[in-house]
Chain A
Amino acid sequence: MLLSCNKLKSHIKNSEDIDWLNIWDTFTLRTAEVEGVEKRGDQIDGIVIAEIKECTEHPDSDHMHVLKVDCGEKELIQVVCGAPNVRVGLKTAYIKVGGHIDGFEIKAKPLRGVLSNGMCCSGKELGISDDHSGIIELPEDAPVGINIKAYLPIEDIIVEIDNKSLTNRPDLWGHYGIAREIAAITKHELLPLELEEVPNDKEDLNITIKDPDLCLRYSALKLENIKNNEVPLDMQIFLYYVGMRSISLLVDITNYIMLELGQPMHAFDSRVVKSIEVGRANDGDTYTTLDNVTRHLTKDMLMIKNGDKYFGIAGVMGGLDSEILSDTTGVFLESATFNAGSIRRTAVSLGLRTEASARYEKSLDPNITTVALKRALYLIKKENPELEIASNLTDVYPTKLDVGHVSLKKSLLSTYMGLTLDDKTVEDMLTPLGFEVTTKKDTYEIVVPTYRHSKDVNIAEDIIEEVARMYGLENFSATPLKIESDGIEHETIFNQEYDVKELLATKYDMHEVNSYLWYDSEMLKEFGVEKSGVKLLGKTENNILRDDLSFSLMNIVNLNFKNYSKFDIFEIGTIIKNNENKRVLSIILADEEKMLESNYNKAKEIVKYIFKVLKNKDVTFTNNVNELEYYDSSFGKVINVNNEKLGEINILNKGITNKISKKKSIICIDIDFDKYVNIQKEDILAIEVSKYPTVQLDYTIILPDDKKYQDLKEILDTFKSNLIKKYSLVSIYENKYTIRYIIGSNNKTLEQKDITTFKDRFIKHLNDNNLNIAE
């Protein structure tokens, strides 16, 4: 929102004492964020009011004229001007030789052979409008010779406030409310508004509110005999500076009051208005708004109806047929308050956010509707002293919003502030903001004005906010907060996730990725995989939430195969399975096809390593019957810890792999991280090392083609001996598996005969199971 400091000044007594350029840093700290402060009119000088005394055609141009202007000096000055509206008697802005426009100096120079001493200016050149169709036309009574800046409010400071920071302050959507804040901050007096009272000796207007939950108040006034529709220049400049276009007096005044008080108004041509009814639209109806767009209505939208016809979308935009015309001399002025939520929903669903709807959706104070009408009457009458008040100030106000009452405990205020303020200080902070404070022994009893009570000030903490900001947030000192915590760590999930991530990145040189919570639709389509998880509403693409983290990472795998022939990635993320959040660790080993076997073994190693190092748990793998269409059906493994399924290792099947890239292997590890987190780390107990040496025995065993290590392991597990400390697989070559036994005794050093006996028994056990040792 743009603010004019000239306008703000007009509402504050002795406003010249305020530093209007620099007050805005303080305003940001006290009230709302200022996004920019810009001086206007400081790029021009040397411009005075002049009257055209002579006007002759340029001898060498078909559109230029040679003027003699009176600018208050002894002699008339010759100026060449190309504007079409030059004529004798016109008063306009004349820039002298040596004056500046936009920082450029004006020099005397010949135009097509005729010397021009300076120039006459358009509104655009003065920076006060977009009008460049001719030179500016000043009123007949404009005093010749005086500086234009003394006559028109060209010099101003325009301030931009971040609308977002005004969300909860409906009172700040007009200059008057901002002026109240500035007055309070700078300890100045806010001037009352000049209003014109309505005698109410006429008839009431015919107004009905059908839906009082959506229309909180509807006030209106009919005025006739408005003949002067000229907008005063200072109002035009104001509107232009704050980003609005001047149209005509009646339209401009409604905008002016909105910018001043925050109250949107509407002016209808009084010839058209019969009776006003405010009520919901019918579903399916259409209506053409002022901007000539046909809108589709629903029963959730509130409409202004004239007789039985739609007349405007309440609080959003008027209709094409309700517009003020050039021959309008009578107006029906609407000043109403609507339900904030309803206006917001209507504006959003129509895609039509207007200055009015932006204000209504902030919960405006209904009590200003009549103030706005009296203000409009005052302003219109200033330009039209002959106007006729044609109705009573008609006011339909079903449920009056009253002032609020808040009781603030002094002790609570002191707690939040970290110090105790004396009563007078508190009163002096709150009173200029419009609060009435009655100080009791332990409390402040506060009356909240309706312009604050309509939305944001309802409870004691709201008053604390007011005191704290007026005290100055920059004046609070940072005070340490004592820890009285018992040091209990409520959860360890975050750290457990971090530990696994760090391990994978350091030990296995893997890269962590983050991916979206939903499947990539393109990917599913390309793979021909259907997923039926939880869906995002209102979206048709990328709208299915993932239920398999590894699989959802395949588009990242696809992407990286474009630049890398092999890579390992992981993510700990959420999946939504059976309507529940689940945390999963997925690790993807992506490589050349020929590396499948070694990577598969590596995958097992990684899983074992994670559980051994971080949980001191052993992992067992069992065969997985995989029903998912995109994984290889025979090579899946279930990861078991404590006889519970903790996850899976899968190979992406060849068909899908080929769709990503030919001759690749993609191994997916998924670990249920919710379960992982709940596994207690097994304590590591010190082992008593035997005094007697152990012996290491390697046996290379030949396995028949139809056997796997798992079969060998089962046979080895049935071989019992007191001497066995452990055995492990150390290498395989073709079908030759080398097994290493560590044997030893706890009460003697083994002798050769003990070893021989062990060896003989072992070989016999193998032979009994149809296996042989390689010689």
Chain B
Amino acid sequence: MEEELKQIVASLSEELKACNKEADILNVKSKYVGKKSRIMEILSGLKDMSVDEKRKYGSLINNTKKEMERMVTKAIEEIDNKSNITFDDTLDFDIKKGSLHPVTIVAKEVTDILKRMGFTVVMGPEMESEYYNFEGLNIPKDHPARDMQDTYYLDNGMLLRTHTSPMEIRSMENYGAPLRIAAPGRTFRNEDLDANHENTFFQIEGMVIDKNVTIGNLIYIMQNVLREIFKTDVKVRLRPGFFPFTEPSYELDMGCLICSGKGCATCKNSGWIELIGCGMTHPMVYKYGGVDHEVYNGFAFGLGLTRLAMMKYKINDIRVLNSGDLRSLEEFDIH
């Protein structure tokens, strides 16, 4: 008897091993533990056995049957849990993605940096009055910047702003002093188009009004903005410049990152790239903006965002930016 039971269990184990789908196991199950199976036969023969035999084999037979059922259940579980995934896992489709305009990305980057320094980002109109674009910025009637060939004048007496600087006056009017604003936006100059010249381009204006602002403060802010933009320590050079709305006025050059200042085509062999016009705000501008220069002073700067985007993405034809040609634009980032 013991031999036979052992034999049955071994044989079940053998047959279960050979199964690889649930249906096979079910067949085996019915053969070994089904109504007509040998074990059931033995089990039903138990009642005809002697008391001694019953005592001797009863629990053995029952346990064997339970063990066999357990083996079948386990086999089914194993089959269920066995991975049966089959597909071509080497397919490789192109991703579908959108894009933001390069200037949008650069503008976001620069405004984020300035926001961390306490600047508020403001925006203003593209169609401007002569007052905000020129007069309020101490640009007198005879200044060459007012010429028709530089400025788009409109038939309604307005003009298209030639810089983002009108936002200096508007912000002073709106928010007073102290003040820290950054104003990104589109500006217009009446220029013929070529690879380096556009009539429509982006700038960002910055203005700080506070008490006891120094030229050293201006340098600090500029250096930090550039360091964050270019993610590296940037050499900065300030040299005299001229803008009617700042006094003193400076041109801020950045050490050329392409040649590390040795001189190359990008920096026209000077080792420096002219990047920012800046200066201490002119007293007349405070007067127009209604800020008391006896109490407050400060600085302003203008940075070419289009130029920055071209440097960042190595865009060599400025016309791409306003073309709307997705062959060029769709490759750009989103963040």
Contacts and interface: CB of A to CB of B under 8 A. Distances in A.
A498 B108 CA distance: 8
A32 B100 CA distance: 39
Interface string B49-61: 0000000000000
Contact of B322 (A469, A488, A515, A545): A515
B142 A340 contact: yes
Nearest to A164: B242
A569 B156 contact: no
Nearest to B282: A461
Contact of A479 (B125, B220, B324): B220
B144 to A, nearest CB: 7
B238 A490 contact: no
Given A33-B239, A479-B214, A491 B122 contact: yes
Interface string A385-428: 00000000000000000000000000000011110000000000
Given A417-B215, A515-B324, A465 B125 contact: no
B25 interface: no
Interface in B207-242: 208, 210, 212-217, 219-221, 223, 237-242
A501 interface: yes
Contact of A514 (B103, B251, B270, B282): B103
Interface in B145-166: 147-149, 152-156, 158, 160
B326 A511 contact: yes
B326 A567 contact: yes
B316 interface: no
Contact of B214 (A415, A462, A515, A536): A415
A581 B223 CA distance: 35
Interface stretch (B4-12, B14-22, B34-42, B327-335): B327-335
A467 B321 CA distance: 42
Interface stretch (B68-76, B80-88, B172-180): B172-180
B126 A581 contact: yes
Contact of A31 (B180, B217, B240, B330): B240
Interface of A: 28-33, 35, 165, 167-168, 340-341, 344-345, 348, 361, 415-418, 456, 459, 461-462, 464-465, 468-469, 473-474, 476-481, 483-485, 487-491, 493-495, 498, 501-502, 504-506, 508-517, 534-538, 545, 553, 555-556, 559-560, 563-564, 567-569, 574, 576, 579-581
Interface of B: 96-101, 103-104, 107-108, 111, 117-118, 120-123, 125-127, 141-142, 144, 147-149, 152-156, 158, 160, 171, 174-175, 178, 180-181, 184, 186, 188, 200, 208, 210, 212-217, 219-221, 223, 237-242, 247-251, 270, 280, 282-283, 297, 321-327, 329-330, 334-335
B248 A465 contact: yes
A495 B121 contact: yes
Contact of A534 (B154, B171, B214): B154
B120 A489 contact: yes
Dominant SS at the B interface? mixed
B120 A491 contact: yes
Given A30-B240, A473-B239, A545-B127, 7 more contacts: A461-B247, A462-B248, A473-B250, A490-B171, A509-B98, A514-B324, A574-B127
A29 B237 contact: yes
Contacts of A33: 239, 251
Nearest to A476: B216
B153 A481 contact: no
24 contacts: A459-B283, A461-B248, A477-B216, A477-B219, A483-B117, A488-B120, A489-B120, A490-B181, A491-B120, A491-B123, A494-B107, A494-B121, A498-B104, A511-B99, A511-B329, A511-B330, A512-B99, A513-B101, A534-B154, A556-B324, A556-B325, A559-B324, A563-B327, A581-B127
Given A514-B101, A567-B326, A415 B154 contact: no
Nearest to B144: A344
A504 B98 contact: yes
A166 to B, nearest CB: 9
A513 B242 contact: no
B210 A535 contact: no
Given A344-B144, A461-B283, A512-B99, A478 B216 contact: yes
A31 B223 CA distance: 22
Contacts of A348: 147, 149
A536 B126 contact: no
Contacts of A488: 120
A534 B156 contact: yes
A508 B98 contact: yes
A519 to B, nearest CB: 14
A563 B326 contact: yes
A462 B297 CA distance: 15
A469 B158 CA distance: 38
B117 to A, nearest CB: 7
A165 B247 contact: no
A31 B242 CA distance: 11
A28 B237 CA distance: 10
A344 B149 CA distance: 13
Contacts of B126: 517, 574, 581
Given A461-B247, A537-B148, A556-B324, A493 B280 contact: no
B322 A516 contact: yes
A50 to B, nearest CB: 40
Contacts of B104: 498, 501, 512
Nearest to B236: A478
B320 to A, nearest CB: 10
Contact of A416 (B103, B142, B241, B297): B297
A96 B24 CA distance: 111
A491 B200 contact: no
A509 B95 CA distance: 10
A498 B123 CA distance: 13
A593 B283 CA distance: 61
B100 A501 contact: yes
Contacts of A416: 214-215, 280, 297
Contacts of B149: 348
A418 B216 CA distance: 7
Contacts of A485: 118, 178, 180
A501 B321 CA distance: 17
Contacts of A483: 117-118, 180
Contacts of B239: 28-29, 33, 473
A513 B324 contact: yes
Contacts of A468: 215, 248
Q: B96, B239, B270 — which one has the most chain A CB atoms within 10 A of its CB?
A: B239
A478 B101 contact: no
A165 B142 contact: no
A516 B171 CA distance: 26
Contacts of A534: 127, 154-156, 158
A502 B122 contact: no
Contacts of B188: 517
A508 B210 CA distance: 44
Nearest to A32: B240
Contact of B247 (A465, A484, A537): A465
